[in-house]
Homo-oligomer: A and B are copies of this chain.
Amino acid sequence: MRIAQIAPLHEPVPPPLYGGTERIVSSLTEELVARGHEVTLFASGESRTSAKLAAGRERSLRLDPAPLKSEIAAHLSMLDEVRRRAGEFDVLHFHLSHFQHFPFFEHIREKTVTTPHGRLDYVDLPGAYRRWPGFPMISISMRQRKPLPEANWVGNVYHGLPLDHYRMPEARERGEKPYLAFLGRLSRDKRPDRAIEIARRSGMQLRIAAKIGAGDRAYFHDEIEPLIDGERVVYLGEVGEEAKAEFLHRAAALLFPIDWPEPFGLVVIEAMAFGTPVIAWREGAMPEIVDEGVTGFVVDSIDAAVERVGLLGDLDRAKIRRTLETRFSVPRMVDDYEAIYEARTAVPDTHPTLRAVAGDAA
């Protein structure tokens, strides 16, 4: 199949550090190529891929040192190029969140699928979608669909990890002090305060490996920093890829006590890749991602979380890893996307409302 993958231009594909969207696009693209598809990746010019790279912009928006960059104009140019070449592809897979591509592809809407990688509860999205109804959409969790129930959801595909990048941990050393892990941005909606309270009440150490964004400094300084004592609560700062693996791998559990509608939660499955269970709040996609009592626990309160810390020893870490391999691997993710591409290209246009652009405006 001739497939175009269209990534955002914020980060290279794959990204050097952060960038969940670009990481997933990379895994998907490489696996599709390995399966014999003819794939063109529209992305920043710094991307590395075995597909054909069509550079939508020489450098990614984040890494380009130019002082004045236009996110809107950069994506407009790339989308125009995709449209110009659209005839070369059987399917166009967009990984853009705010529908900027819709006006470009309304005449060939049925050849497109869109995976929005972010939350969809922006007040402007339902109104915009109603102007381009029927655009085929693929969610990354069923929960993600909630603010946009009327969209043309043609599939739900959970993210997957490349298994060989995540080796199953050796048994941990005896006598090592057990700890709970907190990983991610130290922002208010990730609720590190809940993690600290859970650790305190369960008598476990909490280790925090996290980035403090510019917008989160005041929150960190005022509400979290005073709780870091270097004993019960240890702050490790931002950690690189290798240290992160070690950090997750050796943890008794990952705490994920979020207070926002997280549409997926990549870090949760990263922990699973090391056999590490999660104690997560009942928010966003967590009830879908966590297999209760197998890969972790979903809770509604500090009390419940503390109780579950006592049950962590009952979980089988090898089984957690096996669940990851079954449910959240790259091959499974690509099976799902492939099935959708095939179904889409097999059927005729089922949405006869396609508007004639010129006719509308004349």
Contacts and interface: CB of A to CB of B under 8 A. Distances in A.
Contact of A68 (B57, B66, B119, B131): B119
A73 to B, nearest CB: 4
Nearest to A128: B73
Given A76-B102, A99-B76, A124 B357 contact: no
Contacts of A360: 83-84
Contacts of A68: 119, 121-123
A48 interface: no
Contacts of A74: 124, 128
For chain A, what secondary structure do more than half of its interface residues adopt (helix, strand, loop), or is it mixed? helix
Interface in A91-119: 98-100, 102-105, 107-108, 119
Nearest to A72: B98
Interface string A110-147: 00000000010111110110011000000000000000
Nearest to A119: B68
Contact of A100 (B72, B86, B362): B72
Interface residues of A, number: 43
A144 to B, nearest CB: 14
A72 B122 CA distance: 11
Contacts of A72: 72, 98-100
A127 B87 contact: no
A79 B83 CA distance: 19
A231 B122 CA distance: 49
B73 A122 contact: yes
Nearest to A355: B84
A69 B108 contact: no
A124 to B, nearest CB: 4
Given A72-B72, A98-B73, A362-B87, A123 B80 contact: no
B70 A98 contact: yes
Interface in A323-362: 357-358, 360-362
A77 interface: yes
A216 interface: no
B76 A128 contact: yes
Interface string A50-70: 000000010000001010111
Nearest to A96: B72
> A-B pairs with the 10 shortest C-beta distances?
A73-B124, A73-B128, A70-B124, A86-B361, A70-B122, A72-B98, A74-B124, A68-B122, A80-B131, A66-B123
